[in-house]
Amino acid sequence: MKVGNIRFGFDLDNTLIDYSNAVKKYCLNNSLEECKTIDNLRKVLRTHDNSGNQWQLAQGWLYTDGLSHAEPAKGAVELCEYLIDNNYEIQIVSHKTTHTPVFCGRKPLRSVATKWLTSGELAPYFLDYRRIHYEPTIALKVEKIKALKLSYFVDDLLKVFEQPGYPKEVNSFLLSEASSQLPWVRNVDSLITIKEIMHHEE
């Protein structure tokens, strides 16, 4: 059992939230070839539309209406349970604007995400809204990670860890198939792996 609260930070989209089912639903609804991940869908849409508008429309749907089809990422519940049982304080730091662009309907993004977090399987771990932080830019996201004095942080985007001001003393995990060459970042294939690493290092 840990003595005192050590802060563990999560990114939200594609880290705690698995959009695979939402992506499949979007492809089906829009007569697109089936994609399994958001990255696949982004690549497909950008080959059809260099402006990026089709991708922004898809992204807007995924992060709003599509959340009803999303699920907690593999191992999310198990890792959160482990953290709480060992007296870690859980925080979320997400790069997310307040609304989708006007041409996407200007739908609220943050309130929908918070509702998803606080009403589903992960709800027992995120009922305290003060531990859910949204920042409009990646630079401000990094500043929030520093301000919260997190001991651990996990994200699916390498560019977060590559930011000039990213605090290298944070135990950082990249949840991605992409490989990181950054010495302060560990690659993991699932949140379950993080739980195993932390348990081993206790």
Residue ranges and CATH numbers for the domains of the chain are 6-18+72-201 (3.40.50.1000), 20-69 (no CATH)
Residue 3, pLDDT above cutoff 50: no
* Beta sheet of 152-155, edge-to-edge order: 132-135, 88-95, 6-10, 152-155, 171-175, 185-188
Per-state percent for the chain, helix, strand, coil, to nearest 5: 45, 20, 40
Give the pLDDT of residue 4: 57
Yes or no: say if 59 and 67 are a contact pair by the CB < 8 Å rule.
no
Cα–Cα dist 140/101, whole Å: 20
Give the pLDDT of residue 81: 96
Residue 118, pLDDT above cutoff 90: yes
Cα–Cα dist 126/116, whole Å: 10
Q: How confident is the model at residue 137 (pLDDT cuts 50, 70, 90)?
A: very high
Report percent pLDDT > 70 for the chain.
98
Can you tell me the mean pLDDT for 68-96? 96
- E strand or H helix at 29, and its extent? helix 20-29
Yes or no: say if 59 and 43 are a contact pair by the CB < 8 Å rule.
no
Question: Minimum mean pLDDT among 27-31, 46-50, 83-87, 112-116: which range?
Answer: 46-50
Cα–Cα dist 123/98, whole Å: 21
- Across the chain, what does the average pLDDT equal? 94
> Which pLDDT tens digit goes with each residue over 149-193?
999 999 999 999 999 999 999 999 999 988 888 999 999 999 999
Report percent pLDDT > 90 for the chain.
87
Amino acid type, 61:
W
Give the pLDDT of residue 24: 97
